[in-house]
Structure 1
Amino acid sequence: MHTQQTTTAEQSPSDVPSDGLRAGLKNRHLSMIAIGGVIGAGLFIGSGAGIAAAGPGILLSYALVGAMVVLVMRMLGEMAAANPTSGSFSAYADRALGRWAGFSIGWLYWFFWVVVMAVEATAGAVILEGWVPAVPQWAWALIVMVVLTATNLASVGSYGEFEFWFAGIKVVAIAAFIVIGALAVLGILPGSDHETVGLANLTDHGGFLPHGPGAILTGVLMVVFSFMGSEIVTLAAGESEHPQRAVSKATNSVIWRIAVFYLGSIFIVVTLLPWNDKSILEHGSYVAALEAIGIPHAGQIMNVIVLTAVLSCLNSGLYTASRMAFSLGRRGDAPKSFARTTARGVPRAAILSSVAFGFLAVFFNYKWPDTVFAFLLNASGAVALFVWLVIAFTQLRMRRIILQENPEKLIVKMWLFPYLTWATIGMISFVLAYMLTDPAARDQLIFSGLVAAVVLAVALIRDLVRRDRSGTT
């Protein structure tokens, strides 16, 4: 099918980056991807369990993880601004640490997003089946996957447009939640009662840390994975009109994005409601907060927002997995077909292969939810921390490479280098070690570690084979 493949030479140089992907993402797309990238469905769905475990102290858990993400994004932003590419941290690790590192972290990251696609497709199907029960859950999951696959196959601009509106709805919803909640806390909102006014809920009911300081670390383990996705903007930058500007802007704004959307919204929840209110776990933290201030149909409103977040995460997951597969294909670490693009600059084989595994994971979720799919979930659970750790080690080496080759490209700089980089490595390592002390997190670390060890072994064997071949030629 010669019409499915194009080369860079056949396309306009102004439209196509050097790796064969079209610069189809506009500045507004990148801006919203950057803002929405830190708002996953986990914030809406999983925050209730964190509040129940740590009380109001969950704010410190979110602050600690948020600080870690800010530092990681700063490091990634430094490398991405100097060399925007669809492979992002995998390509940088390949260059700075070796082929084994780029191969390992690239495939682990791809695996993570393939599993996330299955989780999000199922979560979306549950909501849609509740609205239209005549259509079975598996059919809704299939419909959602097919629609977003078609979107990604059309063009990168289609992905960007969908994500612009998905992320936009999430941003507006959380901003409205914070404003309405703040008015209720201040007693300005009509109908506000004495139970929702003021800051008493932060210290009453057992104090700010009702389960002791150790609960902060427990909270860290529960919220850390809801931050995964911040790095998507650095992959997408390779297909934007002004990649360096986009990366710089996204990196510089990550602090206020996390402060407002995560800390701001969770602060409103734990201020409006006692941390041990049963409705937080029964209905979800945001629904419980909206109901507490008398917002009608709060559950259905939040279902719409959660569905949007789910579709956004699924859309970005498919995009991210396919672009990582594309980059691996270009570097010879995946089938060569993954690196081919259509006339629209879309890596069709990479997209279809990624979604095929996503469909397979959805099937596992319905067929063997407590065995095979549970293993997949646990095996991908700690990948976020592995990725962040590799980014930190990569940046230590890449700074020297950039300064030696193109010092003028060092537009975004990591603060207090190398001290904050090493501090971040220490923070991530501590969280990984602490996971072994938590029964729920221990399985994630063990299974993720086993999968990482297998991928790493394959990478090292490939490196040895390559060296042997190059030594005999």
Structure 2
Amino acid sequence: MVDHSTENHLTAEEPDTLQRNLNNRHIQLIAIGGAIGTGLFMGSGKTISLAGPSIIFVYLIIGFMLFFVMRAMGELLLSNLEYKSFSDFAADLLGPWAGYFTGWTYWFCWVVTGIADVVAISAYFQLWFPGFSVWMGALLCLAVFFSLNIATVRLFGELEFWFAIVKIIAIVALIATGIALAAVHYPSPAGGTASLSNIWQHGGLFPQGPSGFFAGFQIAVFAFVGIELVGTTAAETHNPHKVLPRAINAIPIRVIMFYVLALMAIMMVTPWDSVVPERSPFVEMFMLTGLPAAASVVNFVVLTSAASSANSGMFSTSRMLYGLAEQGVAHRRFALLSRRAVPTNGLMFSCLCLAIGVALIYLIPNVMTVFTLVTTVSAILFMFVWTMILCSYLAYRKQHPQRHRESHFKMPLGKVMCWVCMAFFLFVLALLTLREDTRQALLATPLWFAILAVGWRRRGRKMAGRRR
């Protein structure tokens, strides 16, 4: 227990640890926001056109696997409240190199995802402000997110709370609209009428065969990026023993509600073979209702979703740099906190990297090609982070059997599901070799690990030199 006078003294000057200022409602909604990635709003048209109705099974399988990854993460974080994030337990259980590779990779994941999100937000602004340049829009986004994150962690929690509320309302409205249109047999834009039978009457549940079904995994994995955000908020959560299990256990319900039911609603109204890959099915659904403001409303929702992802990314990167600095594998300046217990230096560095990335994307003419490349790289790197969580869990079971026995939040089928999930990630990586655009991203990713290896080797030499 921290003495109140000490706590007040630290707050008045500069605190030396992150403060537990996020409560249950913040964590629950951050978990929901993390489970609803921008890929659902932006990429669902492409996934439906590739896999047909079998895309429902794709999302269920990915959601099922990631639930066990989150359970492993939950048990590890609660086994020792000194762990601030998965980088901490990777360093403790697998060795300093694992904390270094996991932390820096997770940081890079969100920088890459943040670049894609900021460019997407700027593009969505064009609907309302056609004369406003994408370049200025991207810089404005960065300035706004930096200002919001530098204030307090509680403000971040409030923002994510309301961002997630907007996402939930949009998806519930989409599902309700789809059910209503199917109930009255509303004329479908492709001919025929809206009906539940549209899901299986256009070539069956697997109309594109195994190749179409497997192709869906490539894009769908990116939709789940951010599901592990609950883990980066662990150090700033009130009563983690109660809040984290509740947020993690609700993941299966969220996957069914936000992915499966939403995709079923879309395909009930518009048969899968009539869905346009380049357009958002969310926009098309609301257009059918005849609402004049549908385009603006859905544009606002998709923009909010991208803003939520970018905001979360900025939060995560600054906390990960803080953890790496505490481990001694990042510059010690990243461990300094502001008076409001915010790692300001990490925030500024992440913002600078985002700005450089946005500038690079702006200079390349074909933005969509780069967008596909960076999102695929992001998905590959996130799978590496998820794999490190599972490897840490296996090490924890071997090194701390007593902690596992005493845990009140044990991972179901612990060791078995770790190997099943890792085999699944290898399967997805193999699928990425099947298409040209995702193959390029897969071939480019080892470059990041080569850079990390050089950095780790240099750090080892410095440490050896100090010992002498």
Fold agreement, TM-score > 0.5: yes
2:106 to 105, 109, 113: 109
Q: Deviations over 1:307-331 (max 9, x none)?
A: 1101111110100111111111111
Which of 377, 384, 387 is equivalent to 2:385?
387
Secondary structure in 2 matching 1:334:
coil
Distance 1:319 1:159 in 2: 8
1:198 aligns with 2:195: yes
- 1:175 is matched with 172
Pick aligned residue for 1:346 from 328, 338, 342:
342
Match among 316, 321, 327 for residue 320 of structure 1: 316
**1:308 to 2:304 alignment:** yes
User: Which position in structure 2 is the counterpart of 1:3?
Assistant: none
1:283 paired residue number: 279
Deviations 1:356-388 (A, max 9, x none): 111111111112355996775564341111111
Q: Amino acid of the residue matched to residue 437 of structure 1?
A: L
SS in 1 for 2:414: coil
RMSD value, Cα:
2.6
Q: Answer yes or no: is the 8 Å Cα contact 1:86–1:236 preserved in 2.
A: no
Q: Which residue number in structure 2 is paired with residue 33 of structure 1? A: 30
Aligned counterparts of 1:165 and 1:192: Cα–Cα separation in 2: 35
Partner of 2:232: 235
Query: Is 1:122 aligned with 2:110?
Result: no
Check 1:271–1:449 CA distance in 2 against 1; reply closer, same or farther (3 A cut).
Answer: farther
Give 1:148 deviation, angstroms: 1.3
**Matching residue within 68, 71, 75 for 1:74:** 71
Query: How many residue pairs get matched?
Result: 459
CA distance in 2, matches of 1:55, 1:373: 26
Structure 1 residue 447, shift from structure 2 partner: 1.0
Change (3 A) 1:349 1:152: same
Partner of 2:209, secondary structure, is: coil
Contact 1:185 1:272 in 2 (8 A): yes
Amino acid at match of 2:360: F
1:86: Cα distance to partner? 7.1
Query: In the alignment, what sits opposite 2:416?
Result: 419
Within 1, Cα distance between the matches of 2:193 and 2:393? 46
Corresponding residue SS for 2:35 = coil
Distance in 2 (CA, whole Å) between partners of 1:15 and 1:176 is 43
Give, as a single letter, the amino acid of the residue that structure 2 aligns with 1:302: V
Partner-residue secondary structure (3-state), 2:445: helix
Aligned equivalents of 1:15, 1:205: Cα separation in 2: 62
1:465 deviates by 5.4
Q: What's the TM-score, normalizing by structure 2?
A: 0.91
Which of 230, 246, 263 is matched with 1:266 structurally?
263
Aligned residue for 2:391, secondary structure, equals helix
TM-score, normalised by the number of residues in structure 1: 0.90
Match of 1:4 in 2: none
Question: Which of 56, 61, 64 is the matching residue for 2:58?
Answer: 61
Letter in 2 for 1:350: G
Q: Does 1:403 align with 2:401?
A: yes
1:441-452 equivalent positions in 2, closer than 5 A: 441-452=438-449
Where do 5+ consecutive residues of structure 2 fail to align?
none
Q: Report how far residue 424 of structure 1 moved.
A: 0.9
| Cα distance in 1 for residues equivalent to 2:29 and 2:141 | 22
Query: Percent of counterpart pairs with the same letter?
Result: 32
SS of the residue 1:276 aligns to: helix
- Are the counterparts in 2 of residues 44 and 286 from structure 1 also a CA contact under 8 Å? yes
C-alpha distance in 1, partners of 2:5/2:104? 29
Paired amino acid for 2:224: F
**TM-superposition CA deviations, 1:97-151 (whole Å, max 9, x none):** 1111110121111111112222111111112232123432222221121111111
Residues of 2 paired with 1:369 and 1:402: CA distance?
53
Q: For residue 203 of structure 2, give the secondary structure of its aligned residue in structure 1.
A: coil
